Structure 1
Amino acid sequence: PFQCPTLCDSIHGSIDDKENSPMLRAVLCAQVSKVYRFKTEDQRWLLVREQMSETPLSFSLPKQLLSLLIQEHTNRIQEVKELSDLSPHWDGLRHDVITHCNHMIGCYQETLAELEKVPATSCFKSSTSKSDRHLQFVPTNLHSQRMEVTGPDSVWYDVITFGAPADHHQAFKHGGLKKLLNKHSNLRESCVSYSQEESSRAKELLVGMAQLQPLVFGLAEELLAISQEQNATRLQQVLDSLTEQAEQFVHVLKEELVKSALLEIHNQCIANSNTSHVHSNGLLCENCPANQEGQQEVGPHDTEYDEEEWDRVWANVGKSINCIIAMVDRLQEQEQHHQTVTSPEQAFLLFPPASRSSMSSSSWCSWQEHLLPLVVTLRDCVREAVGKARVAMTFVVLQGAVSGTVAQGPPQIAQRRHAVFSQGLSAVVCGFMLKLYGGLEDPDFLRQLHTVGVLAQFESLLSTYGDEVGMLEDMEVSVADLNRVAFIITEAKTEQLEDLLPTLSGTCFIVEVPLPPEIFSSLPQELKDGPLIRVDPVLFNIGINQHQSLAERFGDSSLQERLNQQSCERLRAYCNALRDRLPDMGKTQPVDLMSSLERSVESKKRKNVEVLWIAAMVCRKVNGVRLTSCKSAKDRTAMSVTLEQCALLREQHTLSQQHFSTALDCMRREGCRMENVQKNIGSRKFAFSGVQLLTFPKLYRPPDGSYG
């Protein structure tokens, strides 16, 4: 029988200096290497090294994410507590938010404390631990699978493998995240969604109004007091200060966010005027919350609402200050005329009877009488504007807090979503860092990063039957949420390992990837300026096991069909963006491949693994990150990555067709994926039975003796 042509079979294969660089040690650890040689079509020997590595990101990124989530929920509690006295309804919403956040903080602090107990050298969560409650946030069996083909220029091919991002601890009795979120969609729809920027702007406006209102009122009082003194210079100075503060106040209030929030409050009051309030539903109750002390009511009975009302409210502040300025000018002119009058006869001729009283010795006292009603009007206008704006901005802050917490459903759903996001995040960061390190000398790739962003193509082999439907629903949400992630490349302080580790920050999750100073200095200026590099994630799924056969014959494959169709459209959009923004990168335009992929996705062929093959080719063509998953990334994933490696050797390096099957069996029987099985379950057998394998596509069946 044919002997597997393995040249080296060491658990820690020799790694050259480049592969042992501080950069790679920041993302890879515990390498397992296998070296092969295979015959090419022209009878040359092809030297191939297969390398599988764990990554410290398996634990470091989940711990960073947990810390960020704890801080985010702590800040949210603080921001809603800082809101002024609220109506009973809004106070109820505030209580809901605080209760939700406190629950999440408690859970995450406990989880983080347990993760901190894990030894710092640990980089791996085995498939047998996938249901461990304290390891919910840690990806299962996360590894980089790399293949180096040696030649004049060595070429590396990478695939990130990990268990499908799913919450095995909460399990799938009630379905996965997609189904659970759909059940609570009515709560999210009833809650107005405001972005983080809008919530931050609302808080700024609340602070600004709290500072400016007393300043305007204080200067108005000072103006009245000064008007009793015979000091026109001092009066003008106070008036100038009042005018400046009033203009600043009006500038702060000229905010479209206030107008849109007031309209939304009115609409919700009308829509819910006949409904009773249930806390956590994100809706306004029948007694409109805008009716607060010192604030004008915006109630459900105001069936007519003028959208321009807010413009008039803040404009009235400016008009009232202009009236005060005009009155002071008029009074000062009269005083100047009074000082130039030499006789009562001249005064009688120059001024009408109503104005002569101002020329008495008590003329300054009468100034206060003229200014008082105007100052009262100014205060009323400011108070009305502040009242309405405070209602609007309180609404924005509270709705932002509600939409980010209770409107997402019970805490268990929010925790599930964070956990599966964490698993996907660790995998995609690992893949991005390897892709970046491998493309540092490729100017087209570097230009692509800051111009179009990076594609992350997830391949899933889950079935659409039983629990794996829930896993796929979890994975769908996890992958979709990764579009909130952005990378930024920075200059590391030193080349020490701790300075090269990626760090996570922000509520929109920015991953900072440090490069050694010498390498960073060689980057194009566009990347050194620190632009955000967006992630464009797509997910293709083809079930290949016996359960998928049941789903296709007796069950439902609509989830798989929908996912593949949507991902095909997103992948097409990414390729179009690449073509439009970087037209000179002609070699990366996979036009024919995309057409083939679309045809494969539209076909009704069962277990159409061609979809996965073409999607992977498109991904590599556009410099994307490749990720492959099944339930635990142990068995089906092993079949996929070994098939992909041999296909690359055949298509890119002329591996002889007659040696293709030999190479495939060799990698499966003796390669790194067998080591992966060993480290997960302590056995060197893939968990398949002969009967199960009869339902697998032929190219996904392992050689005899390697399963059982």
Structure 2
Amino acid sequence: MMSCINCFHLPQDNSASTGQRTFLGFTSFSIRGFLRSKDSQSFSASFLVFSLKSAGRREGSAVEQRREGGNLHAAFSRTTDGVNEVGEVKVSHLQMEEEGEDRAPPEHKCPALCDALHGSIQDKENSPMMRAVLCAQVCKLYRFQTDDRRWLLVKEQMSETPLSFSVPKQLLSALVQELTSRVLDLRELGQLLPHWDGLRCDVITLCNHLIGCYQETLTEIGKLSASSCFKSSLSKSDRHLQFVPTNLHSQRMEVTSPGSAGVWYEVITFGAPADHHYGFKHGGLKRLLSKHHRSSSVSYSSDESCRARDLLVSVTHLQPLIFGLAEELLSISLEPRANRLLQVLDGLSQQVHRFVHALKDELVKSALLDIHGQCASSCSDSHVHSNGLLCEGSPPPSERLPEEAEYDEEEWDLTWTNVAKSLNCIIAMVDRLLGRDPHLQEQQEYSEDTKSYNTASPSSSSESSWQEQLLPLVITLRDCVREAVAKARTAMTFVVLQDAVGATVNQGPAQMLHRRHAVFSQALSAVVCGFVLKLYGGLEDPEFLQQLLTVGILVQFEGLLSTYGEEVGMLEDMEVGVADLRGVVFKVTEAKTEQPKDLLPMLRGTWGSFVVEVPLPPETFRSLPEELKAGCLIRVESILFNIGINQQQSLAERFGDSSLQENLNLQSCKRLRTYCNALRDALPHMAGIQSLSESLSSLDRSVEAKRRKNVEVLWTAASVCRLVNGVRLTSCKSAKDRTAMSVTLEQCQVLRERHALSQQHFSTSLDCMRRNGCRMDNVQKNVGNRRFAFSAVQLLTFPRLYRPPDGSYG
């Protein structure tokens, strides 16, 4: 016989994040009297409610046990003036079946289980890392019987996380910075022809609009995050909370078996990443993006755009240096000083070599080809360069001749080669003037190659000054450099402009881009939370750390959305958001201190290439493999399986279309198999890897069966995810009702499959978790009552194992 006392300490203000607690009140009761107050039956619970007396000056410990007259008393604390009632506490006890005669008495086992649970709470749950990313925890304790009539101690924990607001704020800041930088880059491109200037104006207008929206959102989120870590389901359409995930929680379960340490299982629950503010009248992101046609077939990556900007900076910096050294060379040649002349010539050679090296980038040539391909037809009837751009230093269109119809691919190579040859011409002339080279043939040949101006002949060299002989060669060098700079600037301007257009205008209207960023933010916040908890739990597992290095982390989303009505749009949003996560990578870093603010993940980078840095305390960081300490990036493989389970899905299967769900599950199944095959090749001896083939085959059969509401797809996918140490996430519309049914079912299935939960007690355990567990508290904090939002008629269409117990819904 064992009694379980739940003590709840409420945080004061925002003290939960710092670990401080506020003493509210106390109560005491006789354990013996409590046990005798009700008739206990096997596997049934008894409850009594005690009033809390107000807390005056506190003496003694926060939780105290004492014996008086053979009765065990439990109290929150001793006070000197507790009189008024300030609340109540519900105390429960569970009467368990007696063990067999051949087993040790329960009293010899229960203390060991409690000690194991207590140790895990103290060592890991209260670590600085866990306190940094989890807050406002709700815990429930259960004892369930196994097949061999032993007992499992199960701790169910649901927590909020400051990452709900921290990640969106960082993402918004990064987007504002990226958009601002893009506007500055475009404004620095100089004068452009009307067509290209119009595109630039479109991009700048769109960017400025998004910057204004995001800055406003960032301000509002900053106000809310100071007092909360949670966005309720009632706020999912709030304009200022579009980037914040709805009802994001970590759902964790620790299972302690007799003679073994506790094992943790985690699921991240949150409302499906979707933009409820803009709504789903015209569908979700998948449909909206498919309707939008890109206006340009030429696109460049962000890396190429970055290279283009660097090259623009380089040639802009080198051109005046080359011109200045050339002028200095001419000045010195008036009063020849050999040492100084050679010194300046050496400096000129170095700068020209740097200039030529920069121009050899193949990006310049490919951009010039793209420009010609895009603009040749539009420029055929006008006196405009085929580059379509009017750059600084170029003559106006009226003074230019039409380009040749055929563009010579070697034209650019000849341009930068002429720069090098003109330098060689100057070097040869200086050598001749200094008496180092009596042969003049090289000088004459080079003058022909570069089409230089009239150069001094051998017969006139003694009659003219050194400056007069160097001047035409310097002029030739300047002309060649100026021509190369003009073409390079044209090409790189085109790259920067096309990248900006591709990242904004070509993605659709501002509302669509805003929607995509918001959906991505919700999904990213949940994934960061899941990855951090998975990393913390696997820091002592060498195989898991090696898995991160070799194949990355699997992130498996479970959707319970129907393919009917508005939820189709939600699923379309979710699919795009999950796919965008594949551009995210994680990186482990060393934290400065163990303060919560220094242990929060940091987001860096730009759209499509974000890096999430996860800080670890110095001592923990030093124990990691060298590759992780060196900054090795951990890639993300994100997949989504969806099975609608409500009455709307019944309508979709009978009268609508479920092809979106079917195609999504087929694609995710293929990606999952690819990941598992890569893992098997990289770590063939990893625990659990041998059972992957059978599980994947079972998943293939379930997906291809196309049965109505085939929830076995979800069960098998979740099982595979756990086998490969993946991050599990579960979503429905708001993560309140259907999600509660899913996570409680998953917890009981884990207990049955991995911890031998008695089959005859499976349904009882499931009902217990749903009626009295953490998910009921989740319902209350979202809508203010303790009932799931189902009707009896609706539940008739639900799969049997997803129906809550009587009295818990309505």
User: Normalising by the residue count of structure 2, what TM-score does the alignment of the two structures yield?
Assistant: 0.80
Structure 1 or 2: larger helix share?
Answer: 1
Q: CA deviation at 1:648?
A: 0.5
Match of residue 218, structure 2, among 103, 106, 112 = 112
- Decide which moves more: 193-202 or 582-591: 582-591
The Cα offsets for residues 191-215 of structure 1, whole Å up to 9 and x where unpaired, read as 5332222222111111111111112
Q: 1:689 to 1:270 in 2, by over 3 A?
A: farther
Q: Give the aligned partner of residue 763 of structure 2.
A: 661
Q: Give the aligned partner of residue 121 of structure 2.
A: 16
Q: 1:34 to 1:658 in 2, by over 3 A?
A: same
- Decide which moves more: 433-442 or 223-232: 223-232
- Contact 2:368-2:387 at 8 Å conserved across structures: no
Q: Give unmatched runs, 5+ long, in structure 1.
A: 277-284, 338-352
The within-5 A match list for 1:258-657 is: 258-270=364-376, 289-295=388-394, 302-333=404-435, 355-359=458-462, 362-363=463-464, 365=465, 367-507=466-606, 508-585=609-686, 587-589=688-690, 590-657=692-759
For 2:750 and 2:480, locate their aligned partners in 1 and report how far apart those are by CA, in whole Å: 73
Q: CA deviation at 1:652?
A: 0.2
Q: Which amino acid aligns with 1:605?
A: R
Q: CA deviation at 1:371?
A: 2.9
For 1:288 and 1:628, locate their aligned partners in 2 and report how far apart those are by CA, in whole Å: 51
Q: CA deviation at 1:356?
A: 4.3
Q: Which amino acid aligns with 1:681?
A: V
Match of residue 160, structure 2, among 40, 46, 54 = 54
For 1:156 and 1:286, locate their aligned partners in 2 and report how far apart those are by CA, in whole Å: 67
Q: Which amino acid aligns with 1:525?
A: E
Q: CA deviation at 1:57?
A: 0.8
The Cα offsets for residues 27-56 of structure 1, whole Å up to 9 and x where unpaired, read as 111111111111111111111111111111
Q: CA deviation at 1:665?
A: 1.3
Q: Give the aligned partner of residue 74 of structure 1.
A: 180
- Contact 1:191-1:407 at 8 Å conserved across structures: no
For 1:598 and 1:300, locate their aligned partners in 2 and report how far apart those are by CA, in whole Å: 61
Asked if 1:678 is matched to 2:783, the reply is no
Q: CA deviation at 1:310?
A: 1.5
Q: CA deviation at 1:84?
A: 2.1
For 2:204 and 2:786, locate their aligned partners in 1 and report how far apart those are by CA, in whole Å: 50
Q: Which amino acid aligns with 2:126?
A: N
Look up the SS of the partner of 2:200 in the other structure. helix
Q: 1:36 to 1:370 in 2, by over 3 A?
A: same
Q: Give the aligned partner of residue 253 of structure 2.
A: 147
Match of residue 799, structure 2, among 693, 697, 707 = 697
- Contact 1:11-1:31 at 8 Å conserved across structures: no
Q: CA deviation at 1:633?
A: 0.5
Aligned residues with identical type, % of pairs: 71
Look up the SS of the partner of 1:186 in the other structure. coil
For 2:264 and 2:533, locate their aligned partners in 1 and report how far apart those are by CA, in whole Å: 10
Q: CA deviation at 1:373?
A: 2.8
Match of residue 316, structure 2, among 210, 215, 218 = 210
For 1:565 and 1:273, locate their aligned partners in 2 and report how far apart those are by CA, in whole Å: 48
For 1:510 and 1:655, locate their aligned partners in 2 and report how far apart those are by CA, in whole Å: 41
The within-5 A match list for 1:15-34 is: 16-18=121-123, 19-34=125-140
- Contact 1:97-1:401 at 8 Å conserved across structures: yes
Q: Which amino acid aligns with 1:358?
A: S
- Contact 1:485-1:535 at 8 Å conserved across structures: yes
For 2:726 and 2:354, locate their aligned partners in 1 and report how far apart those are by CA, in whole Å: 49
Q: 1:242 to 1:171 in 2, by over 3 A?
A: same
For 1:389 and 1:334, locate their aligned partners in 2 and report how far apart those are by CA, in whole Å: 36
Q: CA deviation at 1:617?
A: 0.7
- Decide which moves more: 97-106 or 576-585: 576-585
Q: 1:301 to 1:215 in 2, by over 3 A?
A: closer
For 2:209 and 2:433, locate their aligned partners in 1 and report how far apart those are by CA, in whole Å: 64
Q: Give the aligned partner of residue 104 of structure 2.
A: none
For 2:457 and 2:497, locate their aligned partners in 1 and report how far apart those are by CA, in whole Å: 54
Match of residue 286, structure 2, among 178, 186, 189 = 178
- Contact 1:458-1:627 at 8 Å conserved across structures: yes
User: Normalising by the residue count of structure 1, what TM-score does the alignment of the two structures yield?
Assistant: 0.91
Higher relative contact order (CA 8 A, sep 6+): 1
For 2:198 and 2:593, locate their aligned partners in 1 and report how far apart those are by CA, in whole Å: 51
Q: Give unmatched runs, 5+ long, in structure 2.
A: 1-40, 50-88, 92-116, 440-455
Look up the SS of the partner of 2:409 in the other structure. coil
Q: 1:230 to 1:106 in 2, by over 3 A?
A: closer
Q: 1:462 to 1:497 in 2, by over 3 A?
A: same
Q: 1:616 to 1:286 in 2, by over 3 A?
A: farther
The Cα offsets for residues 147-190 of structure 1, whole Å up to 9 and x where unpaired, read as 11112111010000000000001110111111111122323xx1
Look up the SS of the partner of 1:509 in the other structure. strand
- Contact 1:454-1:535 at 8 Å conserved across structures: yes
Q: Which amino acid aligns with 1:16?
A: I
